[in-house]
Amino acid sequence: MNLPWHLYVMAFIYFIAGLNHFRNPRLYLKIIPPYFPNPKLLNQISGLAEIILAIALCIPTVSNYGAWGIIALLVAIFPTHLYMYFDEKARMGLPKWVLLLRMPLQLLLIFWAYQYT
C-alpha cells in the first residue's frame, strides 16, 4: 500500500516539531498553562508523542493509528492556544489576531489528519 505524498509532508512537520520540543524547550515551557502539573515532563511527552506519531504515519499498517494519535494530540494541546491568547506573557509578543487565527487552524490540522484515518 502506497501512502500519499502529503501524508509524508504531515509526518515531516510533526517530526520536526517533536524534535524542537527537545532543541528549544523554553519556547514550549512558556506556553504551557500553569494549571498543568510538571510542564517539563509534559513538554517532553508531547515532543516524543509527535516524533512517534510522525513515524507511525509513515508505516502503512499503522498510519491510521498515527493519524488518530495526531488528532488526539491536537485536541489535548488546545488549552495552550487559549492560554496564549489570554495571557500576555505567554503571547510572546504575537498579536492577538494571529493567536485567534491559530484556533481554527487547529481544526484544519485535525481535518487534515482525519483524512488518513
Q: Residue 31 phi/psi, 5° resolution? A: -105, 5
Residue 66 CA to residue 54 CA, distance in Å, equals: 7
Residue 12 CA to residue 24 CA, distance in Å, equals: 18
pLDDT in tens, 33-48: 999 999 999 999 999 9
pLDDT in tens, 49-87: 999 999 999 999 999 999 999 999 999 999 999 999 999
The answer for residues whose C-beta is within 8 angstroms of residue 67's C-beta and 6 or more apart is 57, 113, 114, 115, 116, 117
